[in-house]
Amino acid sequence: MTTERTLVLVKPDGVQRGLAGEIIGRLERTGLQIVGMKLMQISDKLASKHYGEHEGKPFYAGLVGFITSSPVVALALEGPSAISTTRKLMGATNPADSDPGTIRGDFGVDMGRNLIHGSANAEDAVREVALFFDDSELVAYDRATQPWIVE
C-alpha cells in the first residue's frame, strides 16, 4: 500500500442529476482524504488535454462535447491505493457492465453518461491532478481520524 493521489471528476450528468454529494460521499467514506475540490467548467482546451489518449476514436467528439457541456466537480483524493480504490468504487466503464454497489452500476445505464472519471494509473494520476489543480489549490492538512483509518 503506497499513498497516492488520484483525480476524480463528477461529470456533468452527475452534477445535473444532483448526485455530486452522493458520489463524493461514497468516495469520502472509504477514508480517502479530499486534498482538492472545486466546481468548474472544463474548456475545450482542457478537455482535449485530459482526453488526449482518445483523440481519433469514434466517440472522441461526443466525449469532449459531453465533458464541456456543463460544470463538473473536480477532486484530488489522497490515501493508500487511492487510484485502484477509486476505480473499484466507480465500476466498469460501461454502466451496463458495472456491478451493483458501484457508482456507475447504481446510477448509470449508458456508456456516454457514466457519471465519474477516475485516473487509471499512477502516471495518469500525477498528470491529471496537475492538469486540474494548481499547487496552491491542493491543501495539506492533518485529520484527527487518520489513525482510525490507516494503521
State which residue, 120 or 130, has the beta carbon closest to ligand DAT.
120
User: What is the 8-class DSSP label of residue 75?
Assistant: E
Phi, psi of 114 (to 5 degrees): -105, 20
Question: What minimum distance in Å lies between the beta carbon of 111 and ligand DAT?
Answer: 5
Question: What minimum distance in Å lies between the beta carbon of 117 and ligand DAT?
Answer: 6
Residue 52 sits in the site that holds ligand DAT (CB under 6 A): no
Residue selected from 37, 111, 131, 138 as contacting ligand DAT according to rule CB under 6 A: 111
Spatial distance between the Cα atoms of 41 and 9, rounded to a whole number of angstroms: 11
Dihedral of CA atoms 122, 115, 134, 29 in degrees, nearest 10, equals -70
The residues binding ligand DAT (CB under 6 A) are: 59, 63, 93, 111-112, 114, 117, 120
